[in-house]
């Protein structure tokens, strides 16, 4: 495929790998967190770690939007879906377990839950079904929030009164700050989320480098993008600088997408606090629909239990999301918790660190076992 | 009873969509609900069809139900799908079709124009393969109780005398693995035809009967064919996993050798789906004796329905039961069974 295969070339990867090894001192260890689940997926799918020296450690951050939705919000979504509505969501959300059941279970029992690929598809369903209430379950970072904002603006302009949004959008900087502020976390650098930055611009990461002296390289999602970003980070260490760099310049600008930022501004406001799966409650980290669009806020239109659910004790998603442990170090990984029967959300979405590792990374484990058994 | 109450009363004692996916949930369903009740030596093999011993000829017997939505799609309809699917299951058993059955479950209110188009495509597929339907049944259910039309076909075939080496148990280390054409066309065509993706691409279903090329292979190199299965639900990845597990060999495939059309790759990339898991309806995965690979390739290439075939990998001694892919990026990854159902009701 033209314009894609060029970013997956093995010879170029080997060359980058060599350059990384050349400037990585043998006696130091670097812990690099990729923030975005898309990067986690790429790292495992293409075996990026095999191109890196042993003393560069990749840890997986909180940037998979499905993974960070707390159990209580899933239960709230299910509660809405059972109020005789057409409930629309992205495909990944269908299997996410709440306290007892998922939206998929609700669907099997008769709730009208439909998969859409865009909030505008949900709006379209509302247009076609004027006698039914249509709710869109909005999740995701600044990447997906503008599309929700546009759906809200259109709904208002077209006076589609049977459409509403259950808003769970979050923003990227607060969880990073929370991770950097928490104890026992040593992150040396971040691979920055390219698609968030396409909206916000790479400039928003300046506060991370300024306050915490932690370098950030905003990265694309093809394997060579990620390898090059690691190289740029190691080069910063090598040269003794700490700055924000933009590897994904074919998509990301410094200032971001002004139209996307404006529509978000016009339709949403920052929540004083929002709960994150595994990370707890983080101040100013969630977005809600603002007063001007309150009529389209599902939280005003339906009765929502506002469930608070304790996380399963066995689940260590929180520590995975903070980069404290690798997926396979979790007690239930691959045993009680598998993509088929996930306990934690990191195992549900293909972008979740645990699912990515389970699907692609176990090879390393098998090989380790084979080596052991032949000894 | 209100819906919310009903759900809180049951503890997951209902069928969910993944049970029909061909992946892990399907396997669990078969193992926990079907096999304990219906187990017998011929069923337990879980092949594409059962081999029946008779006084003279050995017979192959297979059945398949079709619930695809929409009923008519680029490259075919539920009708030719139902015929070709069962013919290919017979071919996978090394059998030449003898007769088919046809069961229709129709929804009240189904347009006759649509039904006739479906029946026409059944007729065309039968004529092309030179096979007859010898028994059948039609049921109609109330509007809203089915989605237009469901079809079941069963088939009986005579097993070729050269097929005695056929079956996953006969896969041996060193076998070459062949796929008879580009994968994922059918699933992709259905996805696009459903029309809610906002993507346009020229992809047609690959539904076709493979009786001719596979019959020729049977005649000439039947003893060198070790196992065959068609990569329908769950795609190539699922078939390879089934084969690795039931033969207890490891499987290694090369990403760069697996034929996938550019259009299919592009659509799959956009949707975040791996083409290895997308269904084909006119393809066969064949494990062959490596000494005859070259000759087998020659025969397959001489038939239009398998001219774009490829040798995609090998059965290996390492990692028994696991399927690994050498990625074109130089890494290796596990190809696991499908979890969940990215795309319900494609066949």
Residues B171, B272, single domain; the answer is: yes
Alpha-helical segments (H) within B172-320: 185-194, 211-221, 235-247, 262-271, 293-301
ipTM of the complex: 0.74
Q: Is the pLDDT of residue B2 over 70?
A: no
pLDDT given at position A207: 93
Q: Least CB-CB distance to A105: which of B12, B25, B334?
A: B12
* Chain A residues inside the 8 Å CB shell of B342: 91
- Asked whether the bond before B301 is cis by omega within 30 degrees of 0, the reply is no
Q: Residue A160 has what pLDDT?
A: 96
Residue A116 in contact with partner chain B when CB distance is under 8 A: yes
User: pLDDT band for position A362 (50/70/90)?
Assistant: low
Residues of chain A numbered 55-94 and touching chain B (CB < 8 Å): 79, 82, 84, 91, 94
Cβ of A366 within 8 Å of Cβ of B12? The answer is no
Q: Stretch B20-48: mean pLDDT, rounded?
A: 79
Strands A287-289 and A268-270: antiparallel
**Closest-CA distance of chain B to residue A361, Å:** 7
Question: Residues, chain A, total?
Answer: 375
* Number of Cα atoms under 13 Å in the Cβ half of residue A31: 14
Are B236 and B312 part of one and the same domain? yes
Contact, B16 vs B28, CB < 8 A? Answer: no
pLDDT at A239: 95
How many angstroms separate the CA atoms of A340 and A343, rounded? 10
Residue B50 pLDDT greater than 90, yes or no: no
- Is B340 in the A-facing interface, judged by CB distances under 8 Å? yes
Say if residues A257 and A199 touch (Cβ distance below 8 Å): yes
**pLDDT of amino acid B343:** 58
% of chain A surpassing 70 pLDDT: 96
Give the mean model confidence (pLDDT) for residues A302-321.
Answer: 84
**What does the pLDDT look like over B119-148, one tens digit per residue?**
999 999 999 999 988 888 888 888 888 999
The structural domains of chain A, with segments of one domain joined by +, span 1-313, 317-365
Distant-in-sequence, close-in-space partners of B98: CB < 8 Å, separation ≥ 6: B59, B155, B156, B157, B158
Q: Does A47 touch chain B (CB under 8 A)?
A: yes
pLDDT of B230 higher than 60: yes
Query: What CATH number does residue B269 fall under?
Result: 3.90.650.10
B101/B224 same-domain check? no
Structure tokens at A87: 């409930």
B94 and B239 in a single domain? The answer is no
User: Residue A268's pLDDT is what?
Assistant: 98
A371 reaches B (C-beta below 8 A):
no
Please tell me which of the candidates B10, B196, B262 has its beta carbon nearest to residue A1.
B262
pLDDT digit string (tens) for B65-88?
Answer: 999 999 999 999 999 999 999 999
pLDDT digits (tens, 9 = 90+) for B302-347: 999 999 999 999 999 999 999 999 888 877 888 888 766 555 566 6
The total number of structural domains that make up chain B: 2
Query: Would you tell me which residues 334-353 of chain A have a C-beta closer than 8 angstroms to some C-beta of chain B?
Result: 338-340, 350
CATH superfamily ID and name for A1-313: HypD, alpha/beta domain 2 (3.40.50.11740)
B89's CB contacts (< 8 A; 6+ apart) are B48, B49, B62, B64, B155, B230
**Shortest distance, CA B337 to any CA of chain A (angstroms):** 9
B105, B124, B159 - which closes a domain: B159
Residue B69, domain CATH? 3.30.1330.10
Closest Cβ–Cβ partner in B17, B269, B339 for A4: B269
For residue B344, what pLDDT is reported?
58
B331 touches chain A (CB under 8 A): yes
Whether B276 and B311 map to the same domain: the answer is yes
* Closest Cα in chain A to B342: A91
Structure tokens at A368: 């380790």
Q: Give yes or no: residues B193 and B125 share one domain.
A: no
Comparing alpha-carbon positions, the chain A residue that sits nearest to B343 is: A91
- Per-residue pLDDT band for A311 (boundaries 50, 70, 90) equals confident
CA distances from A363 to A54, A332, A369, A371, B325 (A): 17, 18, 10, 12, 10
Say which range, A122-126, A174-178, A299-303, B194-198, has the weakest mean pLDDT.
B194-198
Is the model's pLDDT at B213 over the cut of 50? yes
Q: What percent of chain B has pLDDT over 90?
A: 57
Residue B90 domain-assigned? Answer: yes
- B28/A338 Cα distance (integer angstroms): 14
Q: Among partner residues B272, B322, B329, which is closest to A8 by beta-carbon distance?
A: B329
DSSP H or E segment with residue B4: helix B3-9
What confidence category does residue B211 fall into, taking pLDDT thresholds of 50, 70 and 90?
Answer: very high
CB-CB under 8 Å, A110 with B3: yes
Tell me, yes or no, whether B178 lies in a domain.
Answer: yes
State the average pLDDT for chain A: 89
What contacts 24+ positions apart, CB below 8 Å, involve A270-276? A270/A171, A274/A170, A275/A70, A275/A72, A275/A73, A275/A308, A276/A62, A276/A68, A276/A70, A276/A170, A276/A175
Is there a contact between A114 and A88 (Cβ–Cβ < 8 Å)?
yes
Nearest chain B CA: its distance from A180 CA (Å): 31
Report the C-alpha gap between B271 and B290 in whole angstroms: 36
Q: Give which of A182, A311, A202, A233 is closest to A34, Cα–Cα.
A: A233
Q: Which residues form the domain of B215?
A: 164-334
Q: What is the pLDDT of residue A172?
A: 95
Please tell me the distance from the alpha carbon of residue B68 to that of residue B108, in angstroms, as a whole number.
17
Q: Are B257 and B313 in contact (CB under 8 A)?
A: yes
CB–CB contact B333 A105 (8 Å): no
Phi first, then psi: give them for residue A240, nearest 5 degrees: 70, 30
Identify the burial level of A59 via C-beta atoms within 10 angstroms of its C-beta, where 0-12 means exposed, 13-18 middle and 19 or more buried.
Answer: buried
Instruction: Supply the pLDDT for residue A21.
Output: 94
pLDDT digits (tens, 9 = 90+) for A106-120: 999 899 999 998 899
- Residue A360 scores a pLDDT above 80: no
Angstrom distance (rounded) from CA A179 to CA A185: 7
Q: Which among A1, A51, A105 has CB closest to B16? A: A105
- CA A38/CA B201 separation, integer angstroms: 25
Confidence class of residue A299 from pLDDT cuts 50, 70 and 90? very high
Instruction: Answer with the one of B112, B137, B159 that is the final residue of a domain.
Output: B159
The answer to whether A362 contacts chain B (CB < 8 Å) is yes
Instruction: Give A74: exposed, middle or buried? Use CB within 10 Å, 0-12, 13-18, 19+.
Output: buried
Averaged over A204-218, what is the pLDDT?
95
């Amino acid at each position: 495929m033209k314009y894609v295969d060029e970013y997956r070339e093995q010879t170029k990867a080997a060359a980058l790998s060599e350059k990384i090894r050349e400037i990585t001192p043998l006696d130091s260890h670097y812990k690099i967190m990729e923030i975005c689940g898309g990067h986690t997926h790429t790292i495992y799918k293409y075996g990026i770690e095999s191109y890196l020296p042993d003393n560069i450690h990749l840890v997986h951050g909180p940037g998979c939007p499905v993974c960070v939705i707390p159990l209580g919000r899933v239960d709230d979504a299910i509660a809405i879906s059972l109020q005789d509505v057409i409930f629309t969501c992205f495909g990944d959300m269908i299997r996410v377990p709440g306290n007892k059941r998922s939206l998929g279970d609700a669907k099997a029992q008769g709730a009208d839950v439909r998969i859409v690929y865009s909030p505008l598809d949900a709006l379209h369903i509302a247009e076609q079904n004027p006698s039914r209430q249509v709710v869109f379950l909005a999740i995701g970072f600044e990447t997906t929030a503008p599309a929700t904002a546009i759906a809200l603006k259109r709904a208002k302009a077209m006076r589609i009164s049977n459409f509403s949004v259950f808003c769970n959008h979050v923003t990227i900087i607060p969880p990073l700050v929370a991770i950097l502020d928490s104890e026992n976390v040593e992150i040396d650098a971040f691979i920055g989320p390219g698609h968030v930055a396409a909206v916000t611009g790479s400039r928003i990461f300046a506060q991370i480098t300024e306050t915490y002296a932690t370098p950030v390289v905003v990265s694309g999602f093809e394997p060579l993008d990620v390898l090059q970003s690691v190289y740029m980070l190691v080069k910063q260490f090598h040269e003794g600088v700490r700055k924000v760099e933009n590897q994904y310049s074919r998509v990301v600008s410094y200032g971001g997408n002004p139209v996307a930022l404006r529509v978000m501004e016009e339709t949403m406001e920052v929540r004083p606090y929002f709960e994150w799966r595994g990370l707890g409650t983080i101040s100013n980290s969630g977005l809600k629909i603002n007063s001007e669009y309150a009529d389209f806020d599902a939280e005003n239109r339906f009765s929502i239990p506002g469930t608070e659910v304790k996380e399963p004790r066995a689940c260590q998603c929180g520590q995975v999301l903070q980069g404290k442990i690798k997926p396979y170090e979790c007690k239930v990984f691959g045993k009680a918790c598998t993509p088929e029967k996930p306990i934690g959300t990191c195992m549900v979405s293909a972008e979740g660190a645990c699912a990515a590792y389970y699907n692609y990374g176990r090879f390393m484990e098998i090989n380790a076992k084979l080596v052991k058994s032949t000894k | 009873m209100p819906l919310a109450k009903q759900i809180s009363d049951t503890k997951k004692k209902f069928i969910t969509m993944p049970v029909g996916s061909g992946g892990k949930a399907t396997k669990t369903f078969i193992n926990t609900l079907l096999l304990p009740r219906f187990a017998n030596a011929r069923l337990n093999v879980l092949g594409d069809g059962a081999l029946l011993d008779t006084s003279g000829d050995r017979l192959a017997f297979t059945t398949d139900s079709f619930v695809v939505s929409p009923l008519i799609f680029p490259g075919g309809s539920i009708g030719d799908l139902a015929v070709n699917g069962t013919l290919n299951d017979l071919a996978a058993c090394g059998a030449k079709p003898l007769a088919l059955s046809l069961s229709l479950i129709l929804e009240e209110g189904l347009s006759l124009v649509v039904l006739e188009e479906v029946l026409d495509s059944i007729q065309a597929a039968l004529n092309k393969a030179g096979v007859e339907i010898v028994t059948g049944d039609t049921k109609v259910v109330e509007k809203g109780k089915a989605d237009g039309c469901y079809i079941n076909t069963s088939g009986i075939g005579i097993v070729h005398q050269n097929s005695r080496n056929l079956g996953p148990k006969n896969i041996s280390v060193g076998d070459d693995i062949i796929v008879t054409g580009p994968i994922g066309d059918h699933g992709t065509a259905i996805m696009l035809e459903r029309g809610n993706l906002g993507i346009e691409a020229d992809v047609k279903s690959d539904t076709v009967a493979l009786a001719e090329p596979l019959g020729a292979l049977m005649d000439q190199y039947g003893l060198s064919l070790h196992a065959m299965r068609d990569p329908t639900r769950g795609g190539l990845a699922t078939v390879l996993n089934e084969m690795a597990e039931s033969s207890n060999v490891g499987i290694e495939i090369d990403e760069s050798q697996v034929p996938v059309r550019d259009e299919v790759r592009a659509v799959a990339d956009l949707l975040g789906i791996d083409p290895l898991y997308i269904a084909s309806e006119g393809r066969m995965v064949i494990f062959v004796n490596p000494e005859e690979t070259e000759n087998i390739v020659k025969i397959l290439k001489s038939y239009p329905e398998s001219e774009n075939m490829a040798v995609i990998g090998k059965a290996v001694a390492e990692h028994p039961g696991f399927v690994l892919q050498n990625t074109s990026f130089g890494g290796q990854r596990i190809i696991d069974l499908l979890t969940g159902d990215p795309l319900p009701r494609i066949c």
